[in-house]
Structure 1
Amino acid sequence: MPTPGVSIRHHDDLLSALHREGVEKLVSGFTACPGLFYATSAQDGILSRLRIPGGILNSKQCQAIAAIADMYGGGYVDVTNRANLQIREISKGISSEVLQQLQDLGIGSHNSAIDHIRNIMTSPTAGIDPEELIDTRPFVQSWDAYLAEHSELSALSAKFSVCFDGGGKVSVSDRLNDILLRAELSDTQVYFRLYLSFIKSKPPIDTGIILLPEQCLSVLAALADIYLQHTDVQLKRKPRLQEVINSLGYENYLQQVEQRLTFTLQRSQPSPATKEVGFWHIGTHPQRQENLFYIGVVLPLGRLESQQLRRLGDLAAKYGNGTTRLTPWQNLLITDIPQGCVIDVENEIADLGLDFTVTNIKSSLVACSGKRGCAASATDTKGHALALADYFKNRVQLNRPINIHLSGCAKSCAQHHQGDITLLGVSDRNIETYHIYVGDHDSHEKFGRQIYQNVSFTELPARIEQMLTVYKNHRLHHDESFTEFVNRYETTQLKQLFKIPNICVHLRSSVVVN
């Protein structure tokens, strides 16, 4: 098992980060994307990413990861937007013995050569969602096993990403992936509709192809094989799947895929538009299993202190089936809780200093690592996000989540899709400021429509508060989302609505760290 040594390189020697958060040169020399066996250097030390297929962890794994975060890192873990875990602030290399222990516990692939490939995504409520058409966990396991058994697939782009959606209430169909297989029902037969990525920074597009469940693995294997056939595997920077598809032509690519199959691909009329995701993964909800519930826990900016991770693992073992589930919204679920134990679990979650209410603004507040963890960031996004949450705590009451995304640079590592409100960090004469965008269904711009430029952080809380207040007062009904609301107005109209008099906000210096 390769266990490359890791060390922090002097920042003067670092190369520019092309597509990753704070990673300026690969320490292992193998891949530009971090993994368990391929640690990378970041502004705040060494970064190690634990790939968790489907986001499911058992209690023993939680304990082991918490111990490593304490022993080697900063005493915390971060949940990512692919339901991975990151350990940051690592000051010394993790030994090969520890890596082997993690493998023995099922953390990281048993084939380290493919560990850098992007995590396999599925709904965090797979198998327990009352509305799902099919449990996608076996499909995640099958594709993960196929990758591990075929070392030649290590030549895939590290960003080669696959997602399974079981058609339930908690949908992941809008996440950015190269390949999406989304369940749908035709008569009494469940099919998976195939979506492929063609447009940068946009969700995959319906190909019109539907697959029987037993055909999915063969099609994924063929899609990967055709990619490798038309890619120089010696390239350090592999092209994205969408680049290869667009180069060959969409129909040509699919024809070559079909030639490798023992069955004919079935076409079907376009499926209905994907339902709005909502935030059904937050809060207490009944499972499809009688008298069992799951609780979605809000993790502030996706961060868990190591002692919180330990105790959540213990809670899952004591009250549930021993597993926790990470979400691509950077939160966490405890599942299979008997009805009579729900209140006890809720109380213990509160004792950890965590929350499980969907109205908590932190439930959909997202920030990258910011200038403390990333050399590319212009602003202290995490510090500013927590300060905003503290400011809004007693000022803004929400009946539904609003996705506020703080990005320290244009790469948008923490969230790859438009938010309701995006705050893009910029440095204006060495002052940390933000451009403010609102989500726009019809916009091809990465962050949506720009409303304001170079708003200082001193002005930012009152500015966002005014935007949220106007939304609450002018929305058509309680179920109208923020993005639906702003899409009813032209930019000039929104600026007029959002206009406020003199802005003067003083935040506690203990909260804001510049």
Structure 2
Amino acid sequence: MLAAMPPTSPTPVNRDEAPPRAAVRKSVRERGDACPGALRLHAADDGRLARLRLPAGLLTPRQAQALADAAERLGDGHLDLTSRGNVQLRGLGGSCGAELAERLHEAGLLPSETHERVRNIVASPLAGLDELPSADVQLWARELDGLLCASARAAALSGRFLFALDDGRGDVAALGADVTLLARRDGSVVVRTGANRSGPRVTPEDAPRAALLAAETFLTLAEASGSGAWRVRELPAEHGRGLEAAVRAGLADAGIATEYVAEAPGSGAGAEPGPGPGSGSEPGPEASKPDPEGEPPLPGPVPSPDGTVALSVHARLGRLTVAQWRLLATAANGPLRVTPWRGVIVPGVAPAAAGAVLDRLRTAGLITNPGSPWHGVGACTGRPGCAKALADVRSDAAAAVSRGSGGLPVHWSGCARRCGHPQGRWVDVVATGEGRYDISVQGDARPITTTGPEPEPELKPELELELADAVAAARTTPLTR
């Protein structure tokens, strides 16, 4: 139920600075990571859930068809796209684990049973598919995945630990990964850990090895701290401060030539470089240019350098039917790329056919144009699938979609955990129980906050519009810093 408000009362908007939302973080984790995987299924209210890691989001058409078959045969007939470019199957039966694993093995989607949960690798999804110069992050992803699966040490990583491979446009570098490889204009790669904007610079050939070493170094410091940290940001301050230096020392011990890149405020990967890796000289001064801040791929056609067209489409609320999934697989001439923004890149479409294919995808219910009212709208599972949810957020989000489009991303959450919310600035719509939602803008020092009063016993259609209008206003109202 949507938040009900008296028809005669306008939606209150408080532009005063709101207290920051506290991060939910433990100083010492007392248990292991229970993050679901393809073999470790999670028991949800709507059945069991499997989460399949897809390094760089890559899926061959055959593999995509295999996932559709598994969702239809074993699950609820849908596939969910996650904020890390992975795929989830829901509504699985309690005894289907062995059959699911067999199907994934046959499709080549389960190369290591001991490492299947740690293969969290996102990469710039349009790298090589648009006209921007780009590093070969797909090659990095394949190499890093192989190194991860071959490392006994890496099996101890949390299922939440994230690698981001950015081709220089700055899209996945903004996702808050634990280890980021960021390509630079001179052809070198900066290895960043956590929120650090500095790090050692290595060659592209050494970049995957450097990323693995950074992750293994994190494990060493996490164990030494006794914190049980799952992610870099959870390290105690003294260990977090030492991580970058420890990574540099580890790279030197491994014989990987490095050069330190100190990122000054307002400078970054888009700046003119100093000398390259292994030159033995200190880096030159960085130009005062900001880091690249690439946008996620917009829905629509993307001309490719080989003369074909890549189609960028998004899933409504991150959820696809098996029919939609099969349509994507049959349209692709090459591996699909699932994006961290709950979209799919369909490569290799002939230019003459691109318009007709987009029309078929739109008719099937996919988002194919940035002007769609569904574009930028996300939601967690909510009721009835999640026991912690306080509302059926997907139904409520769908009811509010028609009231406007454009502006900030908006994410509907069934509880304060805010599972799957985006990074950066976004409109935060959180169920608080009894049919109420709190609405705020996150990622800015001066949030807009809207809180509805107690709901009326029966929700009237005009009251549904009150919440929908409040969400639309929050997406488009400019904020002062």
Aligned position for 2:218: 227
Three-state SS of the structure 2 residue aligned to 1:273 is coil
CA distance in 1, matches of 2:79, 2:147: 28
Deviation at 1:371, TM superposition (A): 2.2
CA distance in 1, matches of 2:440, 2:49: 30
Aligned position for 1:381: 393
Which is bigger in relative contact order (C-alpha 8 A, separation at least 6)? 2
Q: Is the 8 A contact 1:173 1:182 kept in 2?
A: yes
Aligned position for 1:365: 377
Deviation at 1:95, TM superposition (A): 4.7
Q: Which moved more, 1:291-300 or 1:349-358?
A: 349-358
Aligned position for 1:36: 38
Aligned position for 1:266: 259
CA distance in 1, matches of 2:247, 2:181: 19
Is residue 2:444 matched to residue 1:441?
Answer: yes
AA matched with 2:387: A
Is the alpha carbon distance of 1:237 and 1:453 closer, same or farther for their aligned partners in structure 2, counting shifts above 3 Å?
A: farther
Deviation at 1:411, TM superposition (A): 1.5
Aligned position for 1:404: 410
Q: Is the 8 A contact 1:163 1:181 kept in 2?
A: yes
Deviation at 1:194, TM superposition (A): 2.5
Give deviations 1:139-178, integer Å, cap 9, x for gaps: 111111111112331112222210001023x722211211
TM-score calculated relative to the size of structure 1: 0.75
Q: CA RMSD in A?
A: 2.8
Aligned position for 2:235: 244
Is residue 2:316 matched to residue 1:282?
Answer: no
Aligned residues, how many?
421
AA matched with 2:131: P
CA distance in 2, matches of 1:227, 1:73: 36
Q: Which runs of 5+ in 2 are unaligned?
A: 1-23, 26-30, 269-288
AA matched with 2:440: Y
User: Which of 184, 188, 191 matches 2:188?
Assistant: 191
CA distance in 2, matches of 1:433, 1:119: 35
Q: Is the 8 A contact 2:316 2:367 kept in 1?
A: no
User: Which of 69, 72, 75 matches 2:74?
Assistant: 72
Is the alpha carbon distance of 1:63 and 1:142 closer, same or farther for their aligned partners in structure 2, counting shifts above 3 Å?
A: same
User: Which of 72, 90, 93 matches 2:92?
Assistant: 90
Is the alpha carbon distance of 1:292 and 1:38 closer, same or farther for their aligned partners in structure 2, counting shifts above 3 Å?
A: same
CA distance in 2, matches of 1:30, 1:467: 37
Three-state SS of the structure 2 residue aligned to 1:82 is coil
Is the alpha carbon distance of 1:165 and 1:418 closer, same or farther for their aligned partners in structure 2, counting shifts above 3 Å?
A: closer
AA matched with 2:260: R
Deviation at 1:449, TM superposition (A): 4.6
TM-score calculated relative to the size of structure 2: 0.80
Is residue 2:423 matched to residue 1:417?
Answer: yes
Percent identity between the aligned chains? 23
Aligned position for 1:312: 328
Three-state SS of the structure 2 residue aligned to 1:100 is helix
Three-state SS of the structure 2 residue aligned to 1:465 is helix
Three-state SS of the structure 2 residue aligned to 1:124 is coil
Q: Is the 8 A contact 2:382 2:391 kept in 1?
A: yes
Is the alpha carbon distance of 1:249 and 1:277 closer, same or farther for their aligned partners in structure 2, counting shifts above 3 Å?
A: closer
Q: Which moved more, 1:407-416 or 1:61-70?
A: 407-416
Q: Is the 8 A contact 2:153 2:216 kept in 1?
A: no
Is residue 2:165 matched to residue 1:164?
Answer: yes
Is the alpha carbon distance of 1:30 and 1:105 closer, same or farther for their aligned partners in structure 2, counting shifts above 3 Å?
A: farther
Aligned position for 1:301: 317
CA distance in 1, matches of 2:200, 2:344: 33
Aligned position for 1:200: none
Q: Is the 8 A contact 2:120 2:159 kept in 1?
A: no
Q: Is the 8 A contact 1:434 1:455 kept in 2?
A: no
Is residue 2:451 matched to residue 1:452?
Answer: yes
Give deviations 1:174-232, integer Å, cap 9, x for gaps: 112111111121xxx212223222xxxxxx33124322212212322322222232344
CA distance in 2, matches of 1:441, 1:102: 42
CA distance in 2, matches of 1:470, 1:87: 32
Q: Is the 8 A contact 1:422 1:437 kept in 2?
A: yes
Is residue 2:190 matched to residue 1:173?
Answer: no
CA distance in 1, matches of 2:32, 2:52: 16
CA distance in 2, matches of 1:455, 1:366: 25
Give deviations 1:443-496, integer Å, cap 9, x for gaps: 6xxxx553435585864643443664697xxxxxxxxxx4xx52237xxxxxxx
AA matched with 1:305: T
Three-state SS of the structure 2 residue aligned to 1:412 is coil
Q: Which runs of 5+ in 1 are unaligned?
A: 1-17, 20-28, 198-203, 472-481, 490-514
CA distance in 1, matches of 2:244, 2:296: 36
AA matched with 1:361: P
AA matched with 1:435: D
Give deviations 1:281-306, integer Å, cap 9, x for gaps: 311121233x2111111211011101
Give deviations 1:211-254, integer Å, cap 9, x for gaps: 22122123223222222323449x99654223337342424652
Q: Is the 8 A contact 2:415 2:432 kept in 1?
A: yes
Aligned position for 2:281: none
Three-state SS of the structure 2 residue aligned to 1:486 is coil
Q: Is the 8 A contact 1:31 1:38 kept in 2?
A: no
Is residue 2:466 matched to residue 1:462?
Answer: yes
AA matched with 1:192: V
Three-state SS of the structure 2 residue aligned to 1:362 is coil
